[in-house]
Structure 1
Amino acid sequence: MILLSTLLYGGCKDVKVGYLFTHNAKYNPDSVVFKANLDDANNDDVHRKKFEIPWQSHSLEGVQGTNPINYSIERIDSDHNSPEILKQFSAVQKGIVELPWNHTVPQGKYAISLRISNEGYSVVLDSMIMVIIE
């Protein structure tokens, strides 16, 4: 009995906790437009500036897993390869890509790859969303 209990206990140590499914992950729509410069003649821009409202994408759909699920930006592909750009973008709850209202990211297109992780699992999803800075 003791030998059987020892074998069963020893076999259970390698079992990963929880799960993480990302095969259906997507943004809808898969691109978003943020402004490079705010216009003081535009009421929406004035409101964003007054309350320091960050630019945000839609949330990432189709991710299932054991909570807490963490989102981070793994890589940004663009014509502007600067470490300063990566520091300004962030991925927050439910994979929402966020950029401060007063960012200094140059105009252009930015393909963002995300890392999604929880306890025991980590997946990188390449070029999940295109952020266009105009």
Structure 2
Amino acid sequence: MKQFILFIFISMLALMGCHDVKIGFLKVEDAEYVPNTMTIPAKLVTAEENPKTNDQIRIDNNSPWVTNAISGVLGTEPLQYEFVSVEATEGGDADLFVKEIVVRGHGRMEVPLRPTAPKGRYKVTLKVSNEGHSAILPDIFTFIIE
């Protein structure tokens, strides 16, 4: 009888261990950009207009505006970041801004040197995912075109 109970117990353990387990993990509770806002001037100032400006190097190299990498995201690699949506306020045009923003590795976002989107405030929502997990990061970063 003891052998039968032991057999039932081992069988139950074996069956419980056969369920699908999601691979890896993803934790985004502490996800943030530091800083979480970037101000992009609508008009760049050349060195001829103001010798103390820092815009001339950016103009010479046609360098886009790039955010820092996101921090506070923990998870099994590879992590993929993708653009979800943008909310435009204070005169902004979300449809134009959507066409210009690019999300790169580690959540870095890139906007062209001279964006065509009008002056305004743009709040960006991203999605981070890996195998078996995903999370939405609402209003995680703000671009201000002034």
TM-score range, shorter chain: 0.7 to 0.9
Question: How far off its partner does 1:127 sit?
Answer: 0.7
Q: Distance in 2 between matches of 1:84 and 1:110?
A: 11
Task: Name the structure 2 match of 1:108.
Answer: 120
Task: Name the structure 1 match of 2:18.
Answer: 11
Task: Name the structure 1 match of 2:61.
Answer: 51
Q: 2:107 is aligned with what amino acid?
A: G
**Larger deviation, residues 37-46 vs 85-94:** 37-46
Task: Name the structure 1 match of 2:105.
Answer: 93
Residues 11-67 of structure 1, C-alpha deviation per residue, up to 9 Å, x if partnerless?
34x222211110111112221111222222355222112212110122211001111
Q: Are 1:78 and 2:88 an aligned pair?
A: yes
Question: How far off its partner does 1:83 sit?
Answer: 2.4
CA RMSD of aligned residues (A): 2.2
Q: Are 1:68 and 2:74 an aligned pair?
A: no
TM-score of the pair, normalised by structure 1: 0.83
Q: Percent identity?
A: 33
Aligned 8 A contact 1:36 1:104 in 2? no
Q: Distance in 2 between matches of 1:81 and 1:131?
A: 12
Q: 2:22 is aligned with what amino acid?
A: K
Aligned 8 A contact 2:64 2:113 in 1? yes
TM-score of the pair, normalised by structure 2: 0.77
Q: How many correspondences in the alignment?
A: 129
SS at match of 2:54: helix
Q: 1:74 is aligned with what amino acid?
A: V
**Residues 1:132 and 1:82: Cα distance change in structure 2 (over 3 Å):** closer
Aligned 8 A contact 1:36 1:105 in 2? no
SS at match of 1:11: coil
Task: Name the structure 1 match of 2:142.
Answer: 130
**Larger deviation, residues 120-129 vs 89-98:** 89-98
Q: 1:22 is aligned with what amino acid?
A: V
Structure 2: give runs of 5+ residues left out of the alignment.
1-10
Question: How far off its partner does 1:87 sit?
Answer: 1.7
Residues 66-115 of structure 1, C-alpha deviation per residue, up to 9 Å, x if partnerless?
11111112111013344231120122122122101132121111111111
**Residues 1:108 and 1:74: Cα distance change in structure 2 (over 3 Å):** same
Structure 1: give runs of 5+ residues left out of the alignment.
none
